[in-house]
Amino acid sequence: MCGEARRRDGRETMIAWLTLGFLALTAAGCARPDWIESTLVTVDVTGVWQGTSANSATGTFAAGRPIVLTLEQSGSRVRGRSQSCHLRMET
């Protein structure tokens, strides 16, 4: 009887460890990366972008003006120029 009790304890311990290991592996497989990973820019925006403006606020910027963006990207950093009829900005 004593031998059976020890064997049963060893078997239960092994089952407990296997269950814990399974749960740990399952939890690790369900882990997701941070939300920031999905928001990173993965395309190159270098080039000339053209379009027209939309009305942003009354008296601030007239709608329908042509806008030209000239952009240069190096890694995650984007630099460029913005041109409009009477507005010119550089960053």
Q: Are residues 13 and 45 in the same domain?
A: no
Which residue range(s) make up the domain with 83? 37-90
C-alpha 49/C-alpha 67 separation (Å) is 8
Q: Are residues 84 and 61 in the same domain?
A: yes
Claim to verify: residue 11 and residue 49 sit in the same structural domain? no
**Which pLDDT tens digit goes with each residue over 45-71?**
899 999 887 766 665 556 677 889 999
- Is 0.85 surpassed by the pTM of this model? no
Read off φ and ψ for residue 49, nearest 5 degrees: -115, 130
Quote the pLDDT of residue 25: 81
Please indicate, yes or no, whether residues 63 and 48 belong to a single structural domain of this protein.
yes
6-39 pLDDT, tens digit each: 556 788 888 889 999 888 887 777 666 666 666 6
52, 81: one domain:
yes
Q: Judge if 14 and 49 occupy the same domain.
A: no
| Whole-angstrom distance, CA of residue 47 vs CA of residue 78 | 11
Same domain, 26 and 46: no
Q: Which of 41, 42, 54, 50 is nearest to 71 (CA)?
A: 50
pLDDT at 9: 75
How many structural domains compose the chain? Answer: 2
User: Could you give the CA distance from residue 31 to residue 62 in angstroms, rounded to a whole number?
Assistant: 49
| Residue 64 amino acid letter | G
